[in-house]
Amino acid sequence: MGETQRYAIPYKGLKPGCHEFRFEVDGSLFEEYQSTEIKDGRCDVTVGADRSESRIVLDVAITGYVIVECDRCLEDCRIPIDFEGQLVVKFSEEVHEYDGEVMWMLPGEDQVDLKQYIYESIVLSLPYQRVHPDGACNPEMLERFRIVSDQEFASIEARAGGGTEHNEGEWAKLAALREQMEAEEEEPEKPRGTK
């Protein structure tokens, strides 16, 4: 069964009134969209569909988790997903663009494909900063990325500054070479054939 079929509600034969549908999301949805953010995940999707003659109102709830890279330690991090939204499906002979809140369908279509809506809802419900709970990050990685305090930086700078005497000969040579190059740039070019 393709991803579209997995997340589709059959419209033909759906009687007016309220209906409930359930879907399970796994890593294959994120693979299909070639998501660079979401590595894997497991979510349950519940859709309450209220069908009338001219439209269907879908109340969508998504709960579960996704696996992303932690912004702090770069290790895999499990982020909970808890989303609630509403999508209105309307029918029209004219082609309209899907805007995230209203999906337009031609009267002859027989199913509502929720794949894109579910994927976008999960991505948009991710927090801005994706990190492990305090204390759960990989300590080795945190040590590698540790920010140095002002005192530590001053200490490092002092230690580095103490070892410049033995390199002064190399620095002096570089400074002399630089002066020579600058002097050559300032000299006007002599015409060819003159001495």
- Amino acid, single-letter form, for residue 184: E
Read off the pLDDT of residues 26-63 as tens digits, 9 standing for 90 and up.
999 999 999 889 999 999 999 999 988 778 899 999 99
Q: Structure pTM?
A: 0.68
Q: How far apart are CA 7 and CA 28, in angstroms?
A: 12
Sorted by sequence, the CB contacts under 8 Å of residue 122 that are 6+ apart come out as: 25, 38, 41, 43, 62, 66, 81, 83
Give the tokens for residue 62.
């998504």
The predicted-structure confidence for 148-160, as pLDDT tens digits, reads as follows 566 766 777 777 7
